[in-house]
């Protein structure tokens, strides 16, 4: 009797142990797969950075070396001297465009978001459906007529052509409306009784209470403007006005052998985005999916 | 101004800046594009000539258009059947119990999403280089496999571009799936386990059905994203998509026709064809996923 009981207990511990062992092996495998993924994802980026500190002769020599033999700043010096393209200026252009785009779009979309979230008015449903329609029609449809319009307005080769159409961001409206629905109505009514204007309600209560959504939306707008290639390629004409993706693309087209310089440019252009990503990572991970999935 | 009148007027003031831009930069171009697609207009100064459906008929026998359609569809299939399942797999790994560094992995795989298309093309031109590339030297050579001409061999170009897409979009899609996985009530899984479900059955009959809304969302943006792809193939392979136009995508073809050949009427027809294809594919996909089924 006693023997049998200890026997089954021993068997039980063996089973539990085996299950634990199996689980830790599984967990170990998961870690290994994820680490392999990190290496495969990170290697191209890292190689770009290390490559930007190599002489071209080293980039194009076998066997490949991941780390530079004799680290050099030549690529950066040549790129920033502006002898090939005015790269610093183009980065500056990108910054101007992206900042202006972010400020204007945030203002415009949060105003509409506020209008839809906090007021009842005639035509609200129709206008909201019209917005929905925007999301089903791909932007490619508008490229040609929008370009012809820019020609007529004489906005080709100016940043108006980028920033103004860019502010018509239907996704941003949904996102901000979703966030602004949460602003309590009582708070607004109380402020109205205290004599606040409708604009004051939006500016002093609506915007501050939607800070989280504003910062995520702002980050997304900034990054997509900073990275945009197709539309600036269509409307910008001169090297001096180019944003950096156009500049880098010309470098790729013209100087395929000067790869170190191109890599240096790619790295420099990624720095602002990396900085923003690191600074806003928690906000981003929490809020990125709000507008898209529940909205 | 009286309170009631104020409340009536305010919402229109909030939404008018956006809807003004919406009319000028979206509604007008969409209608204008439809109009243009029935005309032949070469260059800015030429007189448009009405041609009826000729542009649309020409699409059906245009070898380059059909090639671009085929390539883009190939890529779309790759993103739906390779990138999306890989992202789901990654999301499942990231929810493993006892995982160390979950936050780090989540952020790391998400980061490439923020990289500019032009920078990605620069990074991947050294990944795919035949003689000095990372894949041929670090992955294929150790296995004794021959060097692949990733960007020159027409058969290898599409897999290469899909690989770029995998690198770019794996993490963001995994993030969407993660949100969905977190919303699955743990009791459901526990109940299934108590009923004797293995991990495959748990995935197949509990997790996957509950992820359906997210899956629909992710597949929809994967399809739309495929038809929008421009910067990466255009910079990696050139505007014509490389040898034999093996990497020519729909948006690249629209750009070529509209902004290199200045054939505005025909480019508008391409834009509308593209819109119809995207809408048809999205509806087909929603149907396959059972969105329209009565429940």
B179 contacts on A by Cβ (under 8 Å): 289, 293
Residue A47 sits at the chain B interface (C-beta within 8 Å): yes
In angstroms, how far apart are the furthest CA atoms of chain B? Answer: 82
A116 contacts on B by Cβ (under 8 Å): 15
Cβ of B19 and A127 within 8 Å?
yes
Q: DSSP state, B42?
A: B
CATH number for the domain spanning B282: value is 1.10.3720.10
Nearest to B232, CA basis, from B219, B243, B242: B242
As a whole number of angstroms, the distance between CA A227 and CA A244 comes to: 9
What string of DSSP letters covers A205-233? IIHHHTHHHHHHHHHHHHHHHHH--HHHH
As a whole number of angstroms, the distance between CA B34 and CA B272 comes to: 7
CB distance A51 to A59 below 8 Å: yes
| B7, part of any domain | no
**Smallest CA–CA distance from A267 into chain B, residue:** B119
Cβ of A146 and B25 within 8 Å?
yes
As a whole number of angstroms, the distance between CA A136 and CA B276 comes to: 10
- What was the pLDDT predicted at B15? 93
| B45, part of any domain | no
Cβ of A227 and B114 within 8 Å?
yes
CB distance B87 to B174 below 8 Å: yes
B270 contacts on A by Cβ (under 8 Å): 140
> Once rounded to an integer, what is the mean pLDDT over residues A202-220?
91
* Nearest beta carbon to residue A41 from set B112, B132, B272: B112
Q: How many CB atoms are located within 10 Å of the residue B263 CB? A: 20
- What was the pLDDT predicted at B289? 77
Distance of CA B130 to CAs A258, B135, B136, B138, B150, Å?
A: 17, 9, 7, 12, 7
Q: What are the phi and psi torsion angles at A131 (to 5°)?
A: -65, -45
As a whole number of angstroms, the distance between CA A50 and CA A256 comes to: 18
Q: Which position has the token pair 């034999």?
A: B244
Distance of CA B24 to CAs A194, B32, B65, B173, Å?
A: 39, 11, 30, 34
Nearest to A51, CA basis, from A70, A40, A67, A63: A67
Peptide bond into A63 cis (omega under 30): yes
| B20, part of any domain | no
- What was the pLDDT predicted at A289? 58
Cβ of B7 and A45 within 8 Å?
no
Contacts of B16 (CB under 8 A, 6+ apart): none
Q: Which position has the token pair 């359906």?
A: B212
Residue A278 vs residue A241, higher pLDDT: A241
How many separate domains does chain B show?
1
- What was the pLDDT predicted at A103? 97
∠ CA B231-B253-B240, nearest 5°, is 70
Contacts of B189 (CB under 8 A, 6+ apart): B202, B206, B207
Cβ of B264 and A144 within 8 Å?
yes
> Once rounded to an integer, what is the mean pLDDT over residues A226-254?
92
B108 contacts on A by Cβ (under 8 Å): 38, 41-42
- Scanning B64-123 for CB atoms below 8 A from A yields 90, 93-94, 96, 98-100, 105-112, 114-119, 121-123
* Nearest beta carbon to residue B228 from set A43, A138, A285: A138
- What was the pLDDT predicted at B139? 84
CA distance B38 to chain A (A): 13
Residue B138 sits at the chain A interface (C-beta within 8 Å): yes
Residue of A49, A50, A140 to mutate when probing chain B, most B C-beta within 10 A: A140
Cβ of A263 and B122 within 8 Å?
yes
B205: domain range?
53-288
Band the pLDDT of A3: cuts 50, 70, 90: low
> Once rounded to an integer, what is the mean pLDDT over residues A182-211?
91
Q: What is the ipTM of this complex?
A: 0.88
| B294, part of any domain | no
As a whole number of angstroms, the distance between CA B175 and CA B112 comes to: 13
Q: What are the phi and psi torsion angles at A81 (to 5°)?
A: -65, -20
Q: DSSP state, B138?
A: I
CA distance A224 to chain B (A): 8
Q: Find the helix packing angle between B212-228 and B84-94, rounded to 10°.
A: 130
| B66, part of any domain | yes
Nearest to A44, CA basis, from B167, B148, B82: B167
Between A80-89, A113-122, A280-289, B73-82, the lowest mean confidence (pLDDT) is in: A280-289
Q: What are the phi and psi torsion angles at A157 (to 5°)?
A: 70, 20
Residue A85, both tokens: 């393209």
A44 contacts on B by Cβ (under 8 Å): 123-124, 126-127, 134, 167
| B149, part of any domain | yes
As a whole number of angstroms, the distance between CA B148 and CA B128 comes to: 8
- What was the pLDDT predicted at A293? 42
Residue B3 sits at the chain A interface (C-beta within 8 Å): yes
CA distance A165 to chain B (A): 6
- What was the pLDDT predicted at A288? 62
| B11, part of any domain | no
Band the pLDDT of A218: cuts 50, 70, 90: very high
| B73, part of any domain | yes
CB distance A222 to A101 below 8 Å: yes
CB distance B179 to B172 below 8 Å: no
CA distance B282 to chain A (A): 9
CB distance A116 to A177 below 8 Å: yes
- What was the pLDDT predicted at A291? 45
Nearest to A223, CA basis, from A266, A265, A271: A271
Handedness of CA B244, B246, B250, B252 (dihedral sign): negative
Q: Which position has the token pair 């059909």?
A: B66
Residue A141 sits at the chain B interface (C-beta within 8 Å): yes
As a whole number of angstroms, the distance between CA A228 and CA A243 comes to: 9
- Residue B39 β-bridge partners: B50
Averaged over successive runs of 10 residues, the pLDDT of chain B (295 residues) comes to: 72 93 94 92 82 91 94 94 94 88 88 92 89 81 83 90 94 89 82 82 86 87 90 92 91 94 93 91 81 59
- What was the pLDDT predicted at B71? 95
Arithmetic mean of pLDDT over chain A? 88
> Once rounded to an integer, what is the mean pLDDT over residues A34-58?
89
CB distance B84 to B173 below 8 Å: yes
- What was the pLDDT predicted at A228? 94
CA distance A4 to chain B (A): 28
Cβ of B96 and A30 within 8 Å?
yes
């Amino acid at each position: 009797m006693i023997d049998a009981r200890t026997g089954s207990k021993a068997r039980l511990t063996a089973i539990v142990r085996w299950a634990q062992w199996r689980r830790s092996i599984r967990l170990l495998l998961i870690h290994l797969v994820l680490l392999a993924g990190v290496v495969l994802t990170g290697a191209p980026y890292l190689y770009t950075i290390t490559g930007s500190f190599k002489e071209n002769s080293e980039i194009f020599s076998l066997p490949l070396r991941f780390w530079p033999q004799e680290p050099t700043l030549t690529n950066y010096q040549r790129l920033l001297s502006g002898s090939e393209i005015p790269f610093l200026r183009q980065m500056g252009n990108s910054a101007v465009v992206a900042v202006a785009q972010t400020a204007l779009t945030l203002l415009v979309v949060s105003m509409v978001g506020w209008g839809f979230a906090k007021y009842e008015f005639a035509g609200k449903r129709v206008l909201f459906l019209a917005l929905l329609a925007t999301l089903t029609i791909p932007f490619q449809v508008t490229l040609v007529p929008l370009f012809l319009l820019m020609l007529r307005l004489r906005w080709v080769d100016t940043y108006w052509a980028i920033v103004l159409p860019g502010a018509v961001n239907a996704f941003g409206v949904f996102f901000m409306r979703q966030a602004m629905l949460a602003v309590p109505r009582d708070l607004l009514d109380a402020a109205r009784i205290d004599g606040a204007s409708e604009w004051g309600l939006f500016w002093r209560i609506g915007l501050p209470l939607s800070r989280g959504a504003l910062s995520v939306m702002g980050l997304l707008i900034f990054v997509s403007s900073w990275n945009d290639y197709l539309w600036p390629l269509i409307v910008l004409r001169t090297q001096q006005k180019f944003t950096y993706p156009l500049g880098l693309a010309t470098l790729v087209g013209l100087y395929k052998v000067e790869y170190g310089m191109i890599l240096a440019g790619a790295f420099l252009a990624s720095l602002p985005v990396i900085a923003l990503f690191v600074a806003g990572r928690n906000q981003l991970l929490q809020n990125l999916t709000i507008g898209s999935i529940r909205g | 101004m009286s309170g009631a009148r104020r409340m009536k007027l305010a919402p229109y003031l909030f939404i008018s800046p956006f809807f003004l831009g919406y009319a000028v930069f979206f509604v007008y171009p969409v209608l204008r594009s439809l109009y243009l697609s029935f005309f032949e207009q070469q260059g800015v100064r030429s007189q448009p000539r009405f041609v009826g459906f000729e542009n649309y008929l020409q699409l059906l026998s245009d070898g380059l258009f059909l090639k671009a359609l085929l390539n883009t569809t190939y890529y779309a299939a790759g993103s739906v059947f390779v990138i999306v399942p890989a992202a789901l797999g990654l999301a499942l790994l990231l929810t493993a119990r006892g995982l160390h560094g979950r936050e780090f992995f989540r952020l790391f795989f998400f980061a490439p999403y923020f990289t500019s298309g032009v920078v990605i093309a620069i990074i991947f031109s050294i990944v795919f280089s035949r003689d000095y590339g990372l894949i041929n030297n670090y992955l294929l050579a150790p296995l004794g496999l021959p060097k692949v001409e990733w960007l020159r061999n027409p058969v290898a170009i599409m897999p290469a571009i899909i690989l770029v897409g995998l690198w770019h979009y794996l993490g963001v899609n995994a993030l969407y799936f993660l949100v969905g996985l977190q919303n699955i009530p743990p009791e459901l899984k526990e109940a299934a386990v108590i009923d004797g479900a293995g991990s495959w059955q748990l995935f197949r009959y509990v997790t996957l059905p509950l992820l359906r809304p997210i899956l629909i969302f992710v597949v929809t943006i994967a399809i739309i994203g495929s038809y929008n792809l421009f910067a990466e193939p255009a910079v990696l392979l050139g505007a014509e998509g490389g040898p034999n136009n093996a990497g020519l995508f729909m948006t690249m073809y629209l750009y070529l026709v509209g902004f290199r050949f200045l054939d505005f009427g025909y480019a508008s027809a391409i834009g509308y064809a593209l819109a119809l294809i995207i809408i048809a594919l999205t509806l087909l996909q929603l149907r396959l996923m059972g969105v329209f089924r009565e429940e």
